[in-house]
Amino acid sequence: MPVMELRDENCEMPSNKAKPPVVNLPNLLSCFRLALVPALVWLAWNGWSQLFLACFIGSLATDFLDGFLARTLKQASERGAELDSWADFATTLATPLCAWWLWPELIRREACFVIAGLGSYSAAVLFGLAKYRRLTSYHTWASKTTAVLMGLAVPILLLRGPAWPFQWATAVLVTAELEEIAITALLPGWRANVPSFRHAWKLGREAKSTPLK
């Protein structure tokens, strides 16, 4: 049975008439970020902490840049949203392992926050996979805020800076993932780019009031 995709005027993807090309700069940046994950793992395994940090910060920069370019160039698409989600997924899972290899005492010290962040993220991903058989690609406002905060806090932490930015960012991350779980529970079908639970509530009500074809 095909997955029903929902639409909303506040967060709708481009129409078929203005469908962006599959190969575009934002998508290439997402592919680059995904391809960078094995390099991050290899650098961490070999103990090259400075090169790892440089590549990791580069990965974060492309994460911010691909979304900005997609909006600016009007090249946002569901395929692009999924590529971005896969790059996020791979990077998020690889980073704690790499950090453990390079800075084990730091990870032990912040273990509660690492487990809370990784656990809430994994729960949201697994719930979405169980329901939709694909990664969710909501890109909520809360998740974008989390990306900015984590993008600043994690390098600060790994550079031996204060831990409190990472701890506060983790609290925001857990809140964002709980919202994503609530959105998945609410929406009957997969949907890319849902800014908030309020938008999901509206989409869910419209889906219930619209007869299936």
Average pLDDT per block of 10 residues along the chain, 213 residues long: 39 49 81 94 96 94 83 79 90 94 96 96 96 93 94 94 97 97 94 92 78 53
- 16: which DSSP letter? G
- pLDDT at residue 4, as a whole number: 38
DSSP letter (8 states) at residue 23 = S
Neighbours of 42 (CB within 10 A): 14
Contacts of 59 (CB under 8 A, 6+ apart): 33, 36, 40, 91
Q: What is the pLDDT of residue 10?
A: 41
Paired tokens of 81: 């949203």
Name beta bridge partners: 137. Answer: 192
| Four-point Cα dihedral 174, 175, 177, 179, nearest 10 | 160
Sign of CA dihedral 145, 39, 32, 34: negative
- Rounded distance between C-alpha atoms, residue 135 and residue 106, angstroms: 30
Q: Identity (one letter) of the amino acid at 82?
A: E
Sequence-ordered strand ranges (E) for the chain: none
Look-up: residue for tokens 């994690």?
A: 154
pLDDT for the residue numbered 26: 83
